[in-house]
Amino acid sequence: MDKLHQTLMRYFGYSAFKVGQEDIIQSVLHQKDTVAMLPTGGGKSLCYQIPGYMTEGLVLIISPLLSLMEDQVERMKMRGEKRVAALNSTLSFHERRHIIRHLPSYKFLFVAPEALMSDALLQQLKSMHVGLFVVDEAHCISEWGHDFRPEYSKLGEWREALGHPIALALTATATKQTLKDTVQTLRLQQPDFHIHSVNRPNIALVKEVHETKETKEKRALELVETIQGPGLIYCPTRQMTEDIALLVKQKTHQRVEFYHGGMEAGDRMLIQQQFISGQIDLISCTSAFGMGIDKADIRFVIHMSPPQSIEAFMQEIGRAGRDGKSSVSVLLYTEEDADIQSHLIQAEGFDDPEIDFFLAQLSQVPTNDEKKLRERLMEAGLQETRARMLTHYYMMHQSEQPRVLLENLKEKLQDRQTEKLKKVWQFKERITDHSCFRQSLLSYFDEQLDQAEGSSSGNCCSSCGLDLSDYEKKDQPLELNEMKHWKTELERMFHLIKEAQH
Domain extents for the chain? 3-195, 203-334+433-492, 342-423
pTM for the whole thing? 0.81
Residue type, position 47, single letter: C
Span 105-130, average pLDDT: 88
For residue 222, give Cα distances in angstroms to 75, 248, 469: 36, 10, 12
The Cα 38–Cα 17 span in angstroms is 13
- In DSSP terms, 303 is beta-bridged to 234, 331
The Cα 134–Cα 60 span in angstroms is 6
pLDDT at 150: 77
Binned at pLDDT 50, 70 and 90, residue 320 comes out as very high
pLDDT at 436: 93
DSSP conformational letter for 182: H
- Name residues whose C-beta falls within 8 Å of residue 82's C-beta, 6 or more positions apart in sequence: none
* Helix, strand or coil, per DSSP, at residue 123: helix
Least confident of 19-28, 178-187, 379-388: 379-388
pLDDT at 441: 94
Cβ pair 431, 461 in contact under 8 A: no
pLDDT at 146: 59
DSSP conformational letter for 482: P
The Cα 139–Cα 122 span in angstroms is 24
Please check the confidence at residue 107 and state whether its pLDDT lies above 70. Answer: yes
Binned at pLDDT 50, 70 and 90, residue 501 comes out as very low
The Cα 405–Cα 45 span in angstroms is 41
User: What is the DSSP pairing of strand 84-87 with strand 203-209?
Assistant: unpaired
The Cα 357–Cα 212 span in angstroms is 40
Please check the confidence at residue 488 and state whether its pLDDT lies above 60. Answer: no
Answer CATH for 3-195 from 3.40.50.300, 3.30.160.100, 3.40.50.720, 2.60.40.10: 3.40.50.300
Q: Do domains 3-195 and 203-334+433-492 have the same CATH topology?
A: yes
Q: What is the mean pLDDT of the chain?
A: 85
pLDDT at 57: 93
**Within 86-175, where are the H helices?**
93-101, 119-126, 155-161
Extract the runs of DSSP E, i.e. beta strands, from 38-146.
Answer: 58-62, 84-87, 108-111, 130-135
Please check the confidence at residue 369 and state whether its pLDDT lies above 70. Answer: yes
Binned at pLDDT 50, 70 and 90, residue 491 comes out as low
Q: Say whether the peptide bond before residue 230 is cis (omega within 30 degrees of 0).
A: yes
Instruction: Identify which has the larger pLDDT, 67 or 226.
Output: 226
Instruction: Identify which has the larger pLDDT, 143 or 364.
Output: 364
Q: In the structure, how many helices (H) and strands (E) does the chain have?
A: 19, 13
Span 68-91, average pLDDT: 84
pLDDT at 291: 66
The Cα 239–Cα 446 span in angstroms is 36
pLDDT at 39: 78
Least confident of 52-66, 327-341, 485-499: 485-499
The Cα 30–Cα 22 span in angstroms is 12
Of 396, 418, 409, nearest to 357 (Cα)?
409
Question: Crossing angle for the helix pair 46-54 and 3-12, nearest 10 degrees?
Answer: 110
How confident is the model over 126-181, as pLDDT tens digits? 999 999 999 988 888 877 665 677 778 889 989 999 999 999 999 888 888 889 99
**Within 227-283, where are the H helices?**
238-251, 265-276
* Helix, strand or coil, per DSSP, at residue 111: strand
CA atoms within 13 A on the CB side of 466: 26
Instruction: Residues 203-334+433-492: name the CATH superfamily.
Output: P-loop containing nucleotide triphosphate hydrolases (3.40.50.300)
Calculate ∠ Cα 293-54-174, nearest 5°.
45
How confident is the model over 377-386, as pLDDT tens digits? 888 888 877 8
Binned at pLDDT 50, 70 and 90, residue 480 comes out as very low
The Cα 97–Cα 120 span in angstroms is 9
Radius of gyration of the chain (CA): 23
Please check the confidence at residue 38 and state whether its pLDDT lies above 90. Answer: no
Span 425-432, average pLDDT: 92
107-140: burial string, b at 16+ Cβ within 10 Å, e else: bbbbbbbbbbebeebbebbeebebbbbbbbbbbb
Least confident of 19-23, 143-147, 388-392: 143-147
DSSP conformational letter for 44: T
DSSP conformational letter for 461: B
